[in-house]
Structure 1
Amino acid sequence: MALSDRKLKILEAIIREYIESAEPVGSRSLSRRYELGVSPATIRNEMSDLEELGYIQQPHTSAGRIPSDKGYRLYVDKLMEIRREANKNRVKIKSDILKKYGELEQLLEYTSRVLSEFTQYTSIVLAPQVKKSRLKQIQLARLNDEMMLAIFITNTGLIQNPIFKIPSDMKQEDLERISNFLNEEFVGSTLEDIESKMAENLKKELAKFHHTVYALLPEMFKTLEQVSDVALYLSGTTNIFNFPEFNDLAKARSFLNLMEERKTISELISRQDTSKFNVSIGSENKLQEARECSIVTTTYSLDQHAVGQLSVIGPTRMDYDRVISVLGQVSKMMNDILKSK
């Protein structure tokens, strides 16, 4: 059932009022604070309809109403207007992030802090995932008679140095020839590209090198993927205590426990849709521990390919338009910085 314009205006007013006050909203306060053009009695009737339709709910018998997850979803999809950040804030976000323009790890860590500072929620920055990064250089170096160092550098600045066992008769000259061949074949490719290339007809090409190379390659790339795909940067975890919804110790403890499970968080964020902004509200989250929260996620890109993700997590009573505005600004900054690296 489509809601009338009047019901939509009243629902939007309830959500905005509840985001600001964290208190159940009554018809009289809506009538005083918002120009809805109808009496408190009419507002009460409309609120009763909205409750029956599942867009708002009454937490206590004598209390006003609060939005439900269904109400927030309609607000995010249809009603909110993403506010453009004030120019002074855009300048500050840019200058704050550029303070740490240098090593990728420093940039990601500081970006997480900036997101938390400007939204006042918990922020999560997921590092570029190797499968989405493109190889820039591969170098193999002999360490001793039994061990080899493989150096992988990606277009996002990731550097990994896994060590592998090699036969004693494999010389540095062999490793250099193999390095040259691998660079010719794989530079500019993602791990997904590499997997498909290796599945095609590289075996014949690699036969001219040492007999262990073909067996070693899948292990090399597998190790690279496992090392890097859970790297994330978290800031503002304790901000959750600023919200009265989390005065309940059980809720707060559940949230803090979730924040300690980095692999779980990484999987939760990675699972989000790759559209420009993904908003997951309360019960829409598959993890039980996240069902009191909303998660807003976007990506940052290099060469028009999404390589990592930026997320903000907070109560369902989140200032969604503000969060999306800040995420959009930070994502754009990240894209520009990575492009110039």
Structure 2
Amino acid sequence: MRRLSNKGEHQRNLNDRQRKVLYCIVKEYIENKKPVSSQRVLEVSNINFSSATIRNDMKKLEYLGYIYQPHTSAGRVPTDKGLRFYYEEMVKLSKETEELNLEVDTFRSIPLADPEKVLLLAGNLLARLAEGYVLIERPNPRDLKILRVMLIPVSEDYLIFSILTEFGISKITPIRIHEDLNWEEIERQLNFLLRGRTVEDVLTGKVETLRGSGILKLIESVMNEKLERYIDVGFENLLKDDTLSLEDIKHLLEEIKDHRFLESLIGNDKDVTVKIGKEIGSKKLERFAVFSGRYYKGSSPIGSVHLFTSKITRYDRNHRVFNYVLNRLSEYFTSAARR
């Protein structure tokens, strides 16, 4: 098996014509999902060389592991390495050309609305344009700053306890009361102590006045209510993809139940991470490609986004759409935090 460190060296061993041949083979296979012959390369490209020259180039590309021949007399099919080459070429092209004119005007002008709706809109947009399955991680309520605490008596025996955090995310619970207290004064004192502190600060005892108090236990019970960590959108896109089997999709659903698997897909920097086929690290997911990245509040990451597609996909468009959605989410949550 060839070492990954040789990847750049192998690419340097390709001349411009061979790079064009490889690019053409991958693009043609992604669009038509059929093995690509040397004759087909000449038909769909502007490469002015003989079919024999192209066949020799294809032999070299096959030797270097970019393409393979599924059976004798068939055309060539890209390997994961060939798909990786295509993706990296797409990234270079996107940096050299103007931003793709996406049909996303509604997302550009989105108001500071319910963050849940914003995440759902982003997920639907990404799933529709990339024709894939999208998982968007919700911001962890424990990492958000408290804006206001409210105690609202609704009867002699009950009051509503509400915590409002950044982005309009609130937690509300009814509590039973056993004595008549000055709830307005208690609310004022709580807001003095808690406003501007994160929920995590409160729960880890950094607000000394509340340590061991009933209020702290109440806040902990409210914030520990079960909340699905991820929004998922676009599952039907996988079912419609004829390059994926039901068994492939079943394996994916099994893997994403483990949040550690999803976290392992993201790199340590701000760049989008793309893993193709075997690069995902699971034999059962070798038919997939996954785009992963984080969205931010200022410089702080507050959630992740994952896009799963067949590895035979439009890498050029998906790369641009994915970056666009991440940037818009970061802009939204950064602006919302400054309100």
Structure 2 unmatched ranges of 5 or more: 1-5
Cα shift readout 1:162-189 (whole Å, capped 9, x = no counterpart): 56788x56944685266235414xx253
The separation in 2 between residues aligned to 1:137 and 1:290, in whole angstroms, is: 45
Residue 161 of structure 2 contacts residue 172 of structure 2 at CA under 8 Å; is this kept in 1?
Answer: yes
Instruction: State the secondary structure of the residue aligned to 1:161.
Output: strand
The separation in 1 between residues aligned to 2:284 and 2:88, in whole angstroms, is: 24
**Mean CA deviation greater in 123-132 or 144-153:** 144-153
Residue 141 of structure 1 contacts residue 175 of structure 1 at CA under 8 Å; is this kept in 2?
Answer: no
Structure 1 unmatched ranges of 5 or more: none
1:231 aligned to 2:230? yes
Match for residue 321 of structure 2? 326
Shift of 1:323: 0.7
AA matched with 1:59 = P
Cα RMSD for the two superposed structures: 3.6
1:103 aligned to 2:114? yes
Residue 55 of structure 1 contacts residue 70 of structure 1 at CA under 8 Å; is this kept in 2?
Answer: yes
Q: 2:238 aligns with which of 240, 250, 259?
A: 240
Residue 297 of structure 2 contacts residue 333 of structure 2 at CA under 8 Å; is this kept in 1?
Answer: yes
Residue 133 of structure 2 contacts residue 232 of structure 2 at CA under 8 Å; is this kept in 1?
Answer: no
AA matched with 2:257 = T
Shift of 1:327: 1.9
1:300 aligned to 2:304? no
TM-score (norm 1): 0.75
Cα shift readout 1:65-117 (whole Å, capped 9, x = no counterpart): 22222222333345642264543x3xx30225757863222222222222222
1:21 aligned to 2:39? no
Match for residue 47 of structure 1? 58
Cα shift readout 1:269-325 (whole Å, capped 9, x = no counterpart): 444225231112222224555332111123332233232233322110121121111
The separation in 2 between residues aligned to 1:138 and 1:44, in whole angstroms, is: 71
- Quickly say closer, same or farther: Cα 1:188–1:217, change in 2 above 3 A: closer
Residue 69 of structure 1 contacts residue 282 of structure 1 at CA under 8 Å; is this kept in 2?
Answer: yes
Instruction: State the secondary structure of the residue aligned to 1:60.
Output: coil
1:251 aligned to 2:244? no
AA matched with 2:198 = S
Residue 294 of structure 1 contacts residue 316 of structure 1 at CA under 8 Å; is this kept in 2?
Answer: yes
- Quickly say closer, same or farther: Cα 1:79–1:95, change in 2 above 3 A: closer
- Quickly say closer, same or farther: Cα 1:125–1:212, change in 2 above 3 A: closer
1:317 aligned to 2:305? no
The separation in 2 between residues aligned to 1:285 and 1:143, in whole angstroms, is: 53
Residue 256 of structure 2 contacts residue 262 of structure 2 at CA under 8 Å; is this kept in 1?
Answer: no
TM-score (norm 2): 0.76
1:135 aligned to 2:113? no
**Mean CA deviation greater in 5-14 or 322-331:** 5-14
Report the number of matched residues. Answer: 319
Q: What are the equivalent positions in structure 2 for 1:125-204 lying under 5 Å apart?
A: 125-139=136-150, 150-162=161-173, 168=178, 171=181, 172=183, 175-176=186-187, 179-184=190-195, 187-189=196-198, 191=200, 198=205, 202-203=207-208
Match for residue 337 of structure 1? 332
* Aligned-pair identity (%): 23
- Quickly say closer, same or farther: Cα 1:86–1:64, change in 2 above 3 A: same
The separation in 1 between residues aligned to 2:174 and 2:74, in whole angstroms, is: 63
